[in-house]
Amino acid sequence: MTVLVFGGSGTIGRFLVPFLSSSGMKIRVATRSEEFAATLPDTVEAVIADMDDPASLRRAFEGVETVFLLVAHDPLETQRGLVTLAIANEASCKYIVYLSNHMSSLSPLVPHAGSKVAIEAAIRHTGIPHTILRPTNFAQNDLWLKDAIISGAYPWPLGFFPVTRIDVRDVALASANVLLNPRANNEVFTLSCLDAPNGKETAALWSMAMGRTVVYPDYTPEEFESEMEGKIPSWLNFDFLIMNRYYERYGCPVDAQDFERQATLLPDGPRSYASFIEETAAAWRSLPGCR
């Protein structure tokens, strides 16, 4: 069986590809970068393909039975996902594992969540057996805030309701487990850990791990948007604004039943968010700005 992996060079893919490679599964990684392709081990086949170029996708799908579909967060995410699915269907692909997002089940008005709603619907329409994975907020998203945290603040406006996280290493492991043991029931799994600290509690966790005070400024979503202006693309900043308004109003908890179901994919349980913070803080404490 050949599995075609999209997103092999990204946050999830850099853990997923080694998991699959060590299993002996035949792997083909689709990438736009010849540089990245050259870094892959001999046991992994690289194919140059671009979701904006259907001809290159057709070549990538030749002889493929299973696909791991991850579509990068982008204003063209829906278009790219639908084109890729159309070609997967054309190629008579037998199984799809799609990396969606927990927010897609909560608020399709959040742009990156709405994009995934459309792709999920298209997967169902194809009739191809599939598994949809919906991870919650990545623990590693905190790495974007490194300078702020080291300077003593956790600025992300999470509000005062619980917000669950998941370590990307566990997302990759769950994805690998599904790919290695295909499921024929067209299931949807939420991926999360039990930790669900709100903004103030998150700052307290960072304070404890860093051994210094990390405050929670309690920015409004609008204040955070203003703070990020010019630092990230405007479309992404607006996406975060809508998401943060949702967090402020509802938080982002996970149903206990959803957490229990994910044990099928993560039998040893997920890493805790607190352990991610401790691990990351231990690395940061040695940096000049933390001394």
How far the first Cα of the chain sits from its last, in Å, is: 51
Residue range 163-195, pLDDT digits in tens: 999 999 999 999 999 999 888 789 999 999 989
Q: Where do we find the tokens 């799609």? A: 98
Domain-embedded: residue 245:
no
d(CA 280, CA 17): 23
Average pLDDT over residues 10-18: 93
Domain-embedded: residue 53:
yes
Average pLDDT over residues 7-26: 90
pTM: 0.95
Domain-embedded: residue 48:
yes
User: Which helix (H) or strand (E) covers residue 19, if one does?
Assistant: helix 13-23
Identify the CATH number of the domain in which residue 171 sits: 3.40.50.720
Domain-embedded: residue 73:
yes
Domain-embedded: residue 289:
no
Q: What is the pLDDT of residue 184?
A: 75
Per-residue pLDDT at 124 exceeds 80: yes
Residue range 127-170, pLDDT digits in tens: 999 999 999 999 999 999 999 999 999 999 999 999 999 999 99
Domain-embedded: residue 159:
no
Average pLDDT over residues 201-223: 96
Write down the mean pLDDT value for the chain. Answer: 94
Domain-embedded: residue 232:
no
Domain-embedded: residue 155:
no
On whether the CB atoms of residues 5 and 30 are closer than 8 A, the answer is: yes
The 3-state secondary structure of 219-263 reads CCHHHHHHHHECCECHHHHHHHHHHHHHHHHHCECCCHHHHHHHH
Domain total for the chain?
A: 1
Q: What is the pLDDT of residue 291?
A: 61
On whether the CB atoms of residues 88 and 122 are closer than 8 A, the answer is: no
Residue range 54-108, pLDDT digits in tens: 999 999 999 999 999 999 999 999 999 999 999 999 999 999 999 999 999 999 9
Which domain range does residue 56 map to?
A: 2-137+167-191
